[in-house]
Chain A
Amino acid sequence: MDHAEIKDLIPLKALSRLDGDEASAVDEHLAAGCDECERELASLTEALAAMAIVESGGDGPSDRIWSRLQARLDADRPPQRIEYRTVREPSRGRGFAMLASAAVAAVVAIAVSMVFFNSRMRTDSSDVSNEIAALTARVIEVQRNLDTTGNQLAALEAKVAQTTDLTLASLGPDSQVVRLAGLPASPSATGSVALNRTEGTAMLEVSGLPPTPDDKVYEVWWIGEKQGPLKAGLFEPSSHGATIVSLDLPPPGEVVLASAITLEPSSGVEKPTGAMYLKGDFPRR
């Protein structure tokens, strides 16, 4: 069949009314890259779509369809990211998750492209739909697995970054490090605070604290020589291993005498009100 004969069949292609040899010939012609026939098919498809909207009775919202979509959106929420509660979220730690998502996107793009290419060579639309559905299900499953792995890697990266910050805060020539000792509210708790004003870094590492009630949070304090207790940050302890959090720096010029941790209402408070769980004194310079 030559180009003119093929072009003559494009309207029937747009209507999905080609069978057998005619369908194969048109599909092969389009797959070979005939721009003129592609444009013809696209323009006729647009016309059919316009007719369908008018003939179907109207454009407008459907609350029942939205309800179905909303249910799917709710069910499709990605798994909760694994995070450590910190006062300042580290900016690092998303690289692996982003890489995994990019990899999945590339796989999906290639796979769907292959299916579409293959679909051009076939006439049975139900086979193509089934193939796309099966492929989509597999891709979704792979994506979920990679999302989970990516989240775990991101959490590990975040923890490594925090540990690095803690190390840097502890090792600088201007660093001040103080060990925190458990008080009667939590005698087995231990921790340390590293403050490096030159680098602008303050970190807390703590373990052995009991979980907080739903309406409570641990609050970290600098005890200043002039201003007394100054809030340094909020955190909830990790359920596994040590908790590492970055802290707000004490005000410039304020001499920090000590650091302490108290249990406070979940939004935090400006001055300590609850029981003290840990405390450590800074060495006087």
Chain B
Amino acid sequence: MPADNRISDEALVSAMAAGDQDALATLNQRYGLALSAVADRILRDKADAEEVAADVLWQLWREASRFDRGRGSVGAWIMMTVRSRAIDRLRARKAREPRVGDPVEHITAEDPSNEIHSSEQRRKVEGALATLNDGERDLLRLAYFSDLSQSEIAERTSLPLGTVKSRMRSGLIRLRDALQGSIE
């Protein structure tokens, strides 16, 4: 599989639209681990997570010619789609199986799988995350990596619902503002 990091994600999607399988392989090189890791943190099942990750890249492959750049970057689309698909799968699983535990309980800032790779982009994101206070950061993690409603998050964190909303809002805006100009 090729490893050309000089080609933009958008150019890779254009190549995929023309049937270039190497472009798909390159996107997997860039996002494969992140996709499966996000799905795994939501699903707590590596096989399911890999399937979801493959589903997302497959969807992009099949719909590459119709990818709408106006709706955001390829990376953002990929990461939001994997979360959405993982949550859908989690809900389907919950509907089929008795509830035996909540995957959110495993999510902590010290998660051993949370090893940070060294790169300029990663350092910028880390720096941006550092501008958040602990409460905002934890709530963002909880909101992104779980299927909990706002009320359930409030219950889990023992915070008033209004506080949960305001901290999620302020945390995300602060993260965005800190990253502004540094995201491809």
Interface residues of A (CB under 8 A from B): 8, 11-12, 14-17, 19, 42-62, 64-66, 68-69, 72-73, 105, 108-109, 112, 125-126, 129, 136
State the interface size on chain B (CB cutoff 8 A): 74
Contact A8 B54 (CB under 8 A): no
Pick the contact of B168: A17, A46, A62, A68 (CB < 8 A): A17
User: B63 near A112 (CB under 8 angstroms)?
Assistant: yes
- Which of B's residues lie within 8 Å of A, judged by CB? 1, 3, 21, 24-25, 28-38, 41, 50-51, 53-54, 57-58, 61-63, 65-66, 71-73, 75-76, 78-80, 83-85, 87-88, 91-92, 111, 113-117, 119, 121-122, 125-126, 128-129, 140-141, 143-145, 149-150, 153, 165, 168-169, 172-173, 175-176, 179-180, 183
A43 touching B117 by the CB < 8 A rule?
no
Residues of B with C-beta under 8 A to A47: 128, 172, 175-176, 179, 183
A-B contact pairs, 24 of them (CB 8 A): A11-B168, A12-B150, A15-B144, A16-B87, A17-B143, A17-B150, A17-B168, A19-B149, A47-B128, A47-B176, A48-B76, A49-B79, A51-B140, A51-B175, A52-B144, A53-B125, A56-B34, A57-B33, A57-B113, A64-B36, A64-B50, A66-B32, A68-B54, A69-B25
**Which 8 A-B pairs give the minimum distances between C-beta atoms?**
A62-B32, A56-B37, A49-B79, A47-B176, A68-B54, A61-B29, A49-B76, A60-B33
Instruction: Check B144–A58 contact: CB distance below 8 A.
Output: no
Q: With A66-B1, A126-B88 as given contacts, are A48 and B80 in contact (CB-CB < 8 Å)?
A: yes
A61–B176 touching, CB < 8 Å? no
The residue of chain B having its C-beta at the shortest distance from the C-beta of A18 within the complex is B150
Q: Which of A43, A49, A56, A108 touches B41 (beta carbons < 8 Å)?
A: A56
- CB-CB under 8 A from A57, the residues of chain B are 33-34, 37, 111, 113-116
- Cα–Cα, bound, A234→B79 (Å): 53
Contact B31 A50 (CB under 8 A): no
> What's the dominant secondary structure at chain A's contact region?
helix
Contact partners of A44 in chain B: CB under 8 A: 172-173, 176
A20 to chain B, nearest CB (A): 11
Assess whether A65 is in contact with B35, with CB atoms less than 8 Å apart: yes
Kindly state the separation between the CA atoms of A46 and B3 in the bound complex, as whole angstroms.
23
Minimum C-beta distance from B101 to chain A (A): 21
Do A52 and B79 touch across chains, with their CB atoms under 8 A apart? Answer: yes
Shortest CB-to-CB span from B62 to chain A, Å, is: 7
